[in-house]
Structure 1
Amino acid sequence: MKAIRSPARKPSSQSRQGSHTMPIKHHRRLWLTIGVIAECLLSTSAPAQPLSTQQAKAASYAITEYHILCHRDGGRLWGRSLCGPIMLVDPETRAVYADRDTTGHDLRASGALFIGTLPQGIGMANTAIDWAGTRWTMVLLPLPSDRDRRETLLMHEAFHRIQPDRLPPPVAVLPDHLDTRDGRLLLRLEWRALARALRTQGEPQRAAIRDALAFRALRRSLAIEATGRENALEINEGIAEYTGKRLGAGKDAVASTIGTLTDYDRRDGYVRSFAYASGPAYGLLLDRLSPGWRNGLRPDSDLGVLLHHAIGDGALPAVEAVRDRYGFADIRSEETAKAEAHARQAAHWRAALIDGPVIRLPLIDMQIEFSPQNVFTLPPSGTVYPTATIRDAWGTLTVEQGVLIAQDWKSASIAGPGSAHGNDYAGAGWSLKLSPGWIVSNDSVRRR
């Protein structure tokens, strides 16, 4: 799951194409929760221990891993250390397991850990967060049991902690063209070519790179502002995931990245998540072909352009001449069926969240937690988050069957009507707990 905070105001019409439903410049708290219980720290023959004891052991183990990895890097990857304050948080209980104390939050020492409770109102995420006067890496429990996935996650979030200073992520609108048939088709072809490039060397590698860049260029030519929208997420999440693979998966980074490309090739919902596959692939290829590439990386860099330069630029092949190497016919058939299903889903969301009775909530200083895997764009109205938790001045909204965030990030809509139980409201697939001084009136949430 990912978390972001909404923009303080609507972007001007002059800047809206380069500004955003998710202004990443201000929203580095974006996370992907992958996971099952942390690596087995207790043998099967050991007596059962309380969950809190298991969590403390898992947290201590992970924090040790984190410090080993960042000290091993020694600041070489990004010119500064990734080491810094880290906390692990149980999203069910808000229990905090930190590697250092804070001021004014009653953390208690327990071995090498400092344990306490995260205050209400602080978003929980795999993220970077400013809390108690300190910038932290925050990671949610339970952690992935697989070591490479766990260590990749730790280093991914460690990069987000230094990202505002090292590589501030740009502002951009979500790349909703990745919800279209041709957008998805060309993205999958690009990924398959990148996987081939990672498996090969020499001229076969360069040929596969040229193929990938041809698919990329055609896709980006089909939608307005596609290049800026995709680049923004590749710089934000793609570079963080590259960092995670380089330092977490280590010598297995290439195999891990090929596995991720293969996994994402079978997934739905690329609009918010595609950069987790693309970013590491471009980064690792640039490591091979242009080792100093990170030194010149800027918020407005294009990883595809950098890789094209690394192979001497030159003409790219015609897509029609190379697409069959990567299973074009099968992908087209699959994506045609998915496009039909997508149209049916869009009709469902429009009926539930636009055309039917709805309750609107103002977005003032909103934080939203969501899964980047199932974000559904509904232009021009906004973006649907099928599952989400939203916190704002008016309280907390928990959604299991869809909330529509308006394109300007000024309001959210849920399916009406709802029923009241004191300050709590509930409706079809959602529950709302209002803060004092707020009411639901005339199908909207407002101050009393």
Structure 2
Amino acid sequence: MKQTIVVITLFLLSQNTAGQKRQISNDSIPVFFNEIKKATKEKASLWNKDLYNAMLFVEPQTRKVFANEPDSLGSLKADQNMYSGVLPDKINIANTSMEWNGKRWAMVMLPLPANKQNRINLLAHELFHSAQPSLGFTLNNPDNNHLDKMEGRMYLRLELEALKKSLLSSSEKEMKRHLTNALTFRKYRHTFYKGSDITENELELNEGIAEFTGVIISNRNKKQTVTFLVDGINSFFNNPTFVRSFAYHTIPVYGYLLYNQDKNWNKKITDTTNLTGYLINAFHISIPADLEKVVKDNMKEYNGLLITREEIQRDEKIKKIIADYKLKFIEQPHFEIRFEKMNVSFDPRNIIPIEDKGTVYPNMKLTDSWGILNVEKGALMSPNWDKISITNPVSIEGKKITGDGWTLDLTDGYSVEKDKTNRYQLIKK
């Protein structure tokens, strides 16, 4: 694999803004640029840097793009108090940071949340990603497939239940007790899966710190912040999988509570900081030696019996789903496409890890030198991100290849052909 660029499409804050989105006139867009410009300036002390920078708002259906400043190649044209144009087809649309036409941009999909604080939260999150390299944080998006396993999900849910109670606590003593239990559930979870503490930490340093930044810059009052964070956790529990979205709910809570005690804590960490250890020390927490006993004793307080029952039931269902996907993408004849220079966007809330075989993405869009692949009924990404497996084609009409739930539009110089063993191959001419 020569180069892989991972663009994760996460409809950030949708759990808190359901029903709030509306069609927004173009006249409102400069207002939104000014809102986030003012908000980042007021909170510049958060990172000792004003995060406001080049931004793109994109209409997914039309690919029309609105920017707060021109690009370096002149593709965007002055349009009243902003710049506008059309985003090329080869660029996947997502809430992300990206390099395009000589600049680093924060890209956000329209429509934006109607609620002002949620809108600023989202934009500040993406502006952090845009500034991330300059702040010394690596852009990491590791898989945390253990969080799709029964024990991983169970003890993450317990940690988040304890975090909810810490937010709602009426005293410092009560808050610290719930934080201690939250971090105890976390430490116990890590004992089940070797290396899980490392991969969770990497994603939390990326998405967790970005979302913490959004929470602080949004400047909600205490009641609004607690409601936002608690509602976010409750909505998160409804996600089909937790493997790529958990960090949006752990670090913002820990970070917000710590920010109330130390406004500079985030400036004391680096991209190599062990956040779990840092939080334990920062909150002056003692983790018990007998993790298993303490966890079992405290589970009931955090809906442990219900969580255990639900996760046992889910585990049985997911085994059937995994077996079906293994048959579809591994055991039966299928079509494998290797990457050359790949860019991918997907929704991280519904992916399904398939043991050590990779991960199924029910919906995704891939662009590569060979063309554009749109998937609507699942595709298996290899563990090391060097190929994608889909069902065999059912129709080949020139450059348009179609299968069950997917379409592939080839660029010039590529074709799909059967080899001598009747296996489909992507051929570079």
1: CA distance, partners of 2:184 / 2:267: 26
Deviates more, 1:96-105 or 1:337-346: 96-105
What percent identity do the matched residue pairs reach? 30
Contact map agreement 2:54 2:104 (CA 8 A) in 1: yes
Read off the aligned partner of 1:375 and give its amino acid letter: I
1: CA distance, partners of 2:117 / 2:139: 29
2: CA distance, partners of 1:91 / 1:183: 34
Q: Which residue of 1 aligns with 2:313?
A: 337
Q: How does 1:64-213 map to 2 (within 5 A)?
A: 64-73=34-43, 75-169=44-138, 171=140, 173-200=142-169, 201-213=171-183
Q: Which residue of 1 aligns with 2:201?
A: 231
**Any stretches of 5+ residues in structure 2 without a counterpart?**
419-423
2: CA distance, partners of 1:55 / 1:33: 20
* CA drift at 1:170: 6.0
Read off the aligned partner of 1:119 and give its amino acid letter: P
1: CA distance, partners of 2:142 / 2:87: 32
The answer to whether residue 245 in structure 2 is matched with residue 273 in structure 1 is yes
3-state secondary structure, aligned to 1:76: helix
The answer to whether residue 312 in structure 2 is matched with residue 350 in structure 1 is no
* CA drift at 1:171: 4.7
1: CA distance, partners of 2:2 / 2:165: 43
* CA drift at 1:173: 3.9
1:445 to 420, 426, 429: 426
Q: Which residue of 1 aligns with 2:370?
A: 394
Q: How does 1:351-370 map to 2 (within 5 A)?
A: 351-370=327-346
* CA drift at 1:290: 4.0
Q: Which residue of 2 aligns with 1:421?
A: 397
3-state secondary structure, aligned to 1:120: coil
Q: How does 1:182-331 map to 2 (within 5 A)?
A: 182-200=151-169, 201-248=171-218, 250-251=220-221, 252-316=224-288, 318-331=294-307
Contact map agreement 1:154 1:248 (CA 8 A) in 2: no
* CA drift at 1:57: 2.3
Read off the aligned partner of 1:308 and give its amino acid letter: I
**Any stretches of 5+ residues in structure 1 without a counterpart?**
1-6, 10-22, 41-50
3-state secondary structure, aligned to 1:299: coil
Is the alpha carbon distance of 1:261 and 1:37 closer, same or farther for their aligned partners in structure 2, counting shifts above 3 Å?
Answer: closer
Is the alpha carbon distance of 1:363 and 1:193 closer, same or farther for their aligned partners in structure 2, counting shifts above 3 Å?
Answer: same
* CA drift at 1:375: 1.2
1:383 to 331, 339, 359: 359
Is the alpha carbon distance of 1:143 and 1:172 closer, same or farther for their aligned partners in structure 2, counting shifts above 3 Å?
Answer: closer
* CA drift at 1:37: 9.0
Read off the aligned partner of 1:355 and give its amino acid letter: E
Read off the aligned partner of 1:146 and give its amino acid letter: N
How many pairs align?
A: 413
Contact map agreement 1:182 1:219 (CA 8 A) in 2: yes
Contact map agreement 1:290 1:310 (CA 8 A) in 2: no
* CA drift at 1:124: 1.8
Which digits, 9 at most, give the CA deviation of each residue in 1:43-79, with x for residues without a partner?
xxxxxxxx8xx54124223222221211221x21111
Read off the aligned partner of 1:323 and give its amino acid letter: M
The answer to whether residue 3 in structure 2 is matched with residue 33 in structure 1 is no
Deviates more, 1:334-343 or 1:414-423: 414-423
Contact map agreement 2:395 2:401 (CA 8 A) in 1: yes
Q: Which residue of 1 aligns with 2:421?
A: none
* CA drift at 1:202: 1.5
2: CA distance, partners of 1:113 / 1:61: 10
Contact map agreement 1:37 1:145 (CA 8 A) in 2: no
* CA drift at 1:315: 3.3
Q: Which residue of 2 aligns with 1:20?
A: none
* CA drift at 1:402: 0.6
Deviates more, 1:303-312 or 1:55-64: 55-64
Contact map agreement 2:184 2:287 (CA 8 A) in 1: no
2: CA distance, partners of 1:186 / 1:122: 38
3-state secondary structure, aligned to 1:250: coil
Q: Which residue of 2 aligns with 1:4?
A: none
